[in-house]
Structure 1
Amino acid sequence: MKKVVEVLPDKQGLIERSLSLILAKIQAAIAERGICTIALAGGSTPKPIYQAIATQNLPWDKIHVFWGDERYVPPDRPDSNQKMTREAWLNTVKIPAANIHPMPTLGADPQADAAKHDTELREFFGIEPGDYPIFDLILLGMGDDGHTASLFPHTEALSVSDRLVTVGNKDGEPRLSFTVPLINHARCVIFIVAGANKQTALERVFAPEASELTYPARLIAPTGELWWLLDESAGANLKN
Structure 2
Amino acid sequence: MKKFVEILPDKASLIDRSLEIVLTKLKSTIAAKDRCAIALAGGSTPKPLYEALASQSLPWEKIHIFWGDERYVSATHSDSNQLMARQAWLEKVNFPAENIHPMPTAANNPEADAKKYEAELRDFFQTESEVPVFDLILLGMGDDGHTASLFPHTEVLNVSDRSIGVGNKDGQPRLTFTIPLINHANCVLFMVAGENKRSALQQVFADEADARNYPSRSIQPQGELWWLLDKSAGAVLEK
Question: Per the shorter chain, which TM-score range?
Answer: over 0.9
AA paired with 2:228?
A: L
So what's the TM-score if we normalise by structure 2?
Answer: 0.99
Deviation at 1:162, TM superposition (A): 0.6
- Partner of 2:11 in structure 1? 11
So what's the TM-score if we normalise by structure 1?
Answer: 0.99
SS at match of 2:149: coil
AA paired with 1:237?
A: V
Deviation at 1:106, TM superposition (A): 1.0
Q: 1: distance between equivalents of 2:236 and 2:116?
A: 42
- Partner of 2:34 in structure 1? 34
SS at match of 1:227: strand
- Partner of 1:20 in structure 2? 20
In structure 1, stretches of 5+ residues that fail to align are none
SS at match of 1:226: strand
- Partner of 1:118 in structure 2? 118
Alignment deviations for residues 51-98 of structure 1 (CA, whole Å, 9 cap, x no partner): 000100000000000000000000100000000000000001111100
In structure 2, stretches of 5+ residues that fail to align are none
SS at match of 1:149: coil
- Partner of 2:181 in structure 1? 182
AA paired with 1:116?
A: K
Q: 2: distance between equivalents of 1:98 and 1:92?
A: 16
AA paired with 1:82?
A: Q
Alignment deviations for residues 125-151 of structure 1 (CA, whole Å, 9 cap, x no partner): 00013x111100000000000000000
Q: 2: distance between equivalents of 1:199 and 1:27?
A: 33
Q: Matches of residues 119-158 of structure 1 in structure 2 within 5 Å?
A: 119-129=119-129, 131-158=130-157
1:161 matched to 2:160: yes
- Partner of 1:87 in structure 2? 87
Deviation at 1:105, TM superposition (A): 0.5
1:212 matched to 2:175: no
Considering only aligned residues, what root-mean-square deviation do their CA atoms show, in Å? 0.5
- Partner of 1:224 in structure 2? 223
SS at match of 2:20: helix
Q: 2: distance between equivalents of 1:96 and 1:11?
A: 30
